[in-house]
Amino acid sequence: MSRLVIHIGLHKTGSTAIQNVLGNARNLLLQERIIYPSFEGEFYHHGLVNPWIALPKVYSFSDPAKAWKDLAELAKGDHTVIVSSEEFSRLQRSSINYKEVREMTRAFDEVTVVLVLRHQLQYIQSIYLEVSKNTNIGAFSPFLTKSVQSGYCTGLALDYGLVLNNLEQGFPPDAIRVLSYDVLNTSDTGFVRGFLDCLGIAPRRAAESLQSVKTNVSSDALAVWMASISRAPDVVSPEALKIWTHALKRQLGTHQQLIFTRSEADFICDRYAQANEAFACRVKDANPDFLMPLEIRSDKAIYREDITPEVWRKVRAVLQDASV
């Protein structure tokens, strides 16, 4: 029997870790009839979305049609094939036509689409931090306001029901597997093995090679925000960010950092509570063990309004000593 697993993200939910670990373990996985294909030498499969979504050249395939044809050829065998790209979940401006995806993968005996979710509070913050690596967004409030008003954060839907709507254009509910990022992150077997366990994929020979190494980890939120404000319009370099992070931790310790104000965080939680409840109800029958991720806010969390003028002054004093 041939099985295809299409992992579609979301963004900032461990996709890079999954792709790197599976890519590095390709040969061992192959010995256990698990194929993580390489179409053009990549660890990720972003180029599969090229028929519908234009991506930067570095993420694109030179011949996406051939990649899809090669994928269909893998249906001729008794094995499991896994492809992974968070770009499959992108919606704004253009999106995947899942009716076409279903037709292009019909040769497989079974197709499972898997979606990993985290709460919007952490999701929005992680997206801001990711974008800040290459663009100085500056102030957070306008970024948040635009995201909430449009319903999309840099093209990524904040109401996960919209992603589900698009998926169900091509796949029945029982073909869609939904996992919690928080559950995977605390799995006894590690993130990637926990991901595979949830899909009923349990490689033995490759087990040790599937230990997750944290990749593409978000930086301290308030350090990124402070550095971005201070150095606008320039992008903050990784070296400079390390010094900002150190300087801020000297003042506020290592507590959880939230780039929101307390009122903004409350608003986001209230805003998406009903949509999240509706989503959980929709996927319950096919995913009876799924629990919608909750917002993660420790009692000692530091919020944006905790960065007082005095904190700014002390952090800048440390930076001056470091000649930043």
8 Å CB contact between 153 and 129: no
Distance between CA atoms of 116 and 268, rounded to whole angstroms? 20
* Mean pLDDT, residues 298-311 taken together: 94
8 Å CB contact between 28 and 206: yes
**Could you tell me the two tokens for 319?**
């930076």
**Is residue 216 included in any domain, yes or no?**
no
Q: Are residues 242 and 165 in the same domain?
A: no
Q: What size, in residues, is the chain?
A: 324
The total of structural domains in the chain comes to 2
Q: Are residues 118 and 248 in the same domain?
A: no
Residue type, 223: A
**Is residue 180 included in any domain, yes or no?**
yes
Residue type, 303: Y
Q: Are residues 136 and 284 in the same domain?
A: no
Give the predicted TM-score (pTM) of the model: 0.94
Q: Across-strand partners of 119?
A: none
Q: Whose CA is closest to 272, among 253, 252, 287, 294?
A: 294
Domain that holds residue 238: 221-321
Distance between CA atoms of 145 and 274, rounded to whole angstroms? 19
Per-residue pLDDT at 137:
93
**Is residue 63 included in any domain, yes or no?**
yes
pLDDT in tens, 125-182: 999 999 999 999 989 999 999 999 999 999 999 999 999 999 999 999 999 999 999 9
Radius of gyration of the chain (CA): 21
Specify the CATH number for the domain of residue 193.
3.40.50.300
Instruction: Answer whether residue 118 shows pLDDT above 90.
Output: yes
Higher pLDDT residue, 216 or 170?
170
Q: What is the DSSP letter of 217?
A: P
Q: Are residues 95 and 128 in the same domain?
A: yes
Q: Are residues 139 and 244 in the same domain?
A: no
